[in-house]
Chain A
Amino acid sequence: MRLSSKATTLLILAAVIAIAPVFFPSSYYFRVGSLIFVNGLAVTGLVILIGYAGQISLGHAGFAGIGAYACALAPVHLGLHPALAAVLGALLSAAIAFLVGRPILRLKGYYLAVASLGFGILVSMVLSNEAQLTGGPDGMAVPELGLRAVLKAIGIDLSNTEFWYAFSGLVLVIGAWLALNLYHSPTGRALRALHGSEVAARTVGVDVAHYKLVAFVISAVYASVSGSLLALQNKFITPDVAGFMHSIEMVTMAVLGGAGSVLGAILGAAILTTLPQVLTVFQQYEQLMLGLVMMLVMIFMRAGLLPSIARRIRGRAE
């Protein structure tokens, strides 16, 4: 029996996450791995928005900020458990995405880009300026999730970095599973249809405004959960998580690997997350390299890394 592309993708992803630690020489690699997974999760959300529905957002870090600060603030002010705080953050992100998305998604192309960008900047500005609440640009501490202690009590003893590697890896696989389910579902088809031709999608009965909003809200929840995971594993958070650069990085990761494919986007997240780590030796070259990579991939591999490479291999095989 031939495996469906969904099963193949999930198998590859799970296998890489499970096997990679064998080759890790130090705990530092677990840390980089978990960062890749956290970014990969946000980027998987963007695959739904950019790759499926064809809508751009330059403000999704705003939702990551909401998710991150929910984990920092809700436990202190509302007495919520950090896990529940992350859920609250996701709900809040969904609600805000619903309200903001309705007017924003009427816009197209560059207009949509600048409107979403404006939204992201507003969120990061509030986080930096409301210093009494958020600690301002200096950031604030985030409480311990506490799951590691529970695992230890039942006999699974993981180091902090190992735990976050495994936990964010698991969340990423779940996120990828949901995104792939969506792709092959009626909703996913409606999204891809409106991406292909809005007018044709309308004439087959797709309520285009509604489905764009659906994609926007779902991707906002992904970004929010990603922000929560980042806050919880760092136990510290600054407004940079919601900043413009973070939004750009997210979109670049998605498009770099190939915004149409979940696996490609996660690969993009892996590359752009690892690049700065590799380049720490040449720190002054970091921006130069990042800019260069962004330009080269978009010029020479328009569909993104993974689809372009796949096409080339298929082309040679034929």
Chain B
Amino acid sequence: MPELLQFLLSGITVGAVYALVALGFTIIYNASDVVNFAQGEFVMLGGMITFFAHAAGLPLPLAALIAIIVTAGIGVALNKLAIEPARGAPVVSLIIITIGASIFIRGATQLVFDKQIHRFPAFSGDQPILIGGATILPQSLWVIAGALAVFVCLWLFFTRTLIGRAVLATANNRVAAQLVGINTNYVMTLSFAMSAAIGALAGVLVTPITLTSYDVGLALALKGFAAAMLGGMGNPKGALVGGLLLGILEAMTAGYISSQYKDAAAFVVILAVLFAMPQGLFGRKSTDRV
């Protein structure tokens, strides 16, 4: 039993990170119908910039804040320089563009910083907390709390604020949103900034546990993408649940079957979900109009 609990706890920790990446995917997907494969690079940037700012002598909270702001700026630049000019391009082109952006950011990071693996100290020490025979790192609690906080903030933003509703309106129907006076370009910019900031936050939170280096982004993007799909593309609740499920699933596979195949298990289940219900757990069914 403690063993199961242990796997569950570590699964939820990893799953919270996937959920954050998936939420980032969801925001951009809703605003622009683009699946941003560079989403994982935001997480990497959050960790890397925080480390180097901290190493340069800044206090950790300030370093983290700078990392989040800079990453949000990079997200906006990505939108302005690569996504907006390519509006209306076919899905294949958009996939290539965002994968290109991902490779570009990775290459730039490796040039600006380095190719080493880095870590900065955990926020509340490294003393594991005992829960029912299993242990959890205080930093894991930070990660889980972070994911929940982001989810709640997003929910409030989308349901309670005017601009949040404008984003949702744009997601539903871009032309109609423009007609009622919503500045859809601004909505896109905002979405990329938010999405990048959330990614960077995930990087800040998780780096003390998983460490970071210039090339961790791609794997995170794939898992976050998978989580978003599992939950149903474009659905924030789906992103949260999909991320947590995927994390738990991986941890269980690693614990009970084979740690080598933990990534495989995730993809096998995702394939199964896609075949059984191609719209994901919370996705809407759509009818093609002819």
Contact = CB atoms under 8 A, between A and B. Distances in A.
Given A107-B274, A199-B288, A288-B104, A299 B110 contact: no
A190 interface: no
B102 interface: yes
Contacts of B97: 294-295, 298-299
B144 to A, nearest CB: 26
A113 interface: yes
Interface string A280-318: 000011111111111100111010000000000000000
A126 B264 CA distance: 9
A196 interface: no
Contacts of A255: 92-93, 96
Interface string A256-268: 1001000000000
A111 B100 CA distance: 19
Interface residues of A, number: 45
Contacts, number: 130
Contacts of A107: 274, 278
A228 B40 CA distance: 33
Contacts of B66: none
Interface in B236-280: 260-261, 263-264, 267-268, 270-271, 274-275, 278
Nearest to A251: B96
B85 A122 contact: no
Contacts of B99: 248, 252, 294
Contacts of B100: 252, 290-295, 298
Nearest to B266: A118
Contact of B267 (A113, A118, A252, A299): A118
Contacts of A114: 225-226, 229, 270, 274
B218 interface: yes
Given A129-B261, A299-B97, A291 B104 contact: yes
Interface of A: 50, 56, 58, 103-104, 106-107, 109-111, 113-115, 117-119, 121-122, 125-126, 129, 199, 244, 248, 251-252, 255-256, 259, 284-295, 298-300, 302
22 contacts: A56-B95, A110-B229, A110-B233, A111-B278, A115-B271, A118-B226, A118-B267, A119-B271, A121-B222, A122-B264, A122-B268, A252-B96, A255-B96, A284-B111, A285-B111, A287-B104, A288-B111, A291-B107, A294-B99, A298-B100, A300-B85, A302-B89
**For the complex of A and B, 3 pairs with smallest distance between CB atoms:** A291-B104, A294-B100, A287-B107
Interface of B: 35, 82, 85-86, 89-97, 99-108, 110-111, 218, 222, 225-226, 229, 233, 260-261, 263-264, 267-268, 270-271, 274-275, 278, 288, 290
